[in-house]
Structure 1
Amino acid sequence: MDIHFAGQYATVSVNLCLLYAGIKQGLILLLPEAASLDEIKTNLTQIKGHAAEDFTFVSTGAQWIGSQVKK
């Protein structure tokens, strides 16, 4: 599964830190609609100290837009 943000593509399973850095910086994350939300959340739980519940995702029909939940 690939993610797209800040003009770059990265594989979630390989670049979880890159994904996390994008969320922490408040960038919009665009994830392909083909990726299941469960798959996305499973990958996010691999980021140390964070759970899938720390993030929210909205589908636009063509992609997922993800952001970190404010606490």
Structure 2
Amino acid sequence: MRSALVRYMPYRTAGRTAYEAANSTILGNIDRLFAVWDGHPADGKGGTGDTVETAHAKGVPVEIIWPEGARRE
């Protein structure tokens, strides 16, 4: 299976600014967000918690995926 669309962001390296821009682009082009998230607050802009919060604020439905018993290592 292949993607029908690939978007390239104007960042040479990963970091908060790149994550925030990518998440903003994603949120502007979806009808629903599926987030693999442990429910903990974001540790800065561009994190999963921040993205979930922004999606809620924009009225984008959010489905959280975090299996019972799962934990971060």
Classify the TM-score, shorter chain.
0.3 to 0.5
TM-score calculated relative to the size of structure 2: 0.34
TM-score calculated relative to the size of structure 1: 0.35
Q: Which has the higher Rg, Structure 1 or Structure 2?
A: 2
Instruction: Say which structure is richer in strand.
Output: 1
